[in-house]
Amino acid sequence: MPPPRLSLTHRLIAAAVLVVVIGCALGAVALDHAFREAQAHRLTGKLDLAARVVAAAVVVGPDGEPRLEGPGLRETDNGTWYWQVAFADGTTLRSATLRGAVLPQEDLSYLAPGAVAVAGYDDGPGGEEVVTAETRVVLPDGTTAQVKVALADREMRAALARFRSILVTIMVLLTVGLAAAIAAQVRWGLAPVRRVLADLRKVGEGEGTRLNEDVPRELLPLVGAFNDVLDANRRTVERSRGLAGNLAHALKTEIAVLRSEVSRQEPQGRKVVERRLATMTDLVERHLGRGGLAGVTGSGASRTDTLAALGEICTMLDKVYGPQGRDIALEAGGGVPDFRGDRDDFVEMVGNLVENACKHARSAVRVSAAGQGDRLLVRVEDDGPGLPAERRAEALKRGTRLDEQVPGSGLGLAIVADLVDDYGGTVTLGDSDLGGLAAELLLPAMPPLPRVHAPPGEVA
Percent of the chain with pLDDT over 70: 81
Quick one: pLDDT band at residue 327, thresholds 50, 70, 90?
very high
Radius of gyration of the chain (CA): 46
pLDDT of 409 strictly over 50: no
- Better-predicted residue by pLDDT, 385 or 115: 385
d(CA 125, CA 366): 88
- pTM, two decimals, is 0.49
Helix 267-290 / helix 220-262 crossing angle, nearest 10 deg: 160
Structural domains of the chain, with CATH: 1-203 (no CATH), 220-294 (1.10.287), 303-446 (3.30.565.10)
d(CA 442, CA 451): 23
| φ, ψ of residue 361 in degrees (nearest 5) | -70, 150
pLDDT of 399 strictly over 60: no
- Better-predicted residue by pLDDT, 442 or 112: 442
d(CA 342, CA 274): 32
Contact present, 367 and 380 (Cβ < 8 Å): yes
Beta bridge partners of 303: 340
d(CA 9, CA 193): 10
pLDDT tens for each residue of 252-298: 777 777 777 777 666 666 666 776 777 677 666 666 555 544 444 44
- Better-predicted residue by pLDDT, 308 or 113: 308
CA angle, 209 as apex, 203 and 213 as ends, to 5°? 95
d(CA 343, CA 360): 26
Contact present, 55 and 137 (Cβ < 8 Å): yes
d(CA 94, CA 164): 33
- Better-predicted residue by pLDDT, 165 or 61: 165
| φ, ψ of residue 143 in degrees (nearest 5) | -70, 140
pLDDT of residue 309: 92
- Per-residue pLDDT, averaged over 238-263, amounts to 73
Stretch among 175-179, 264-268, 299-303 having the lowest mean pLDDT:
299-303
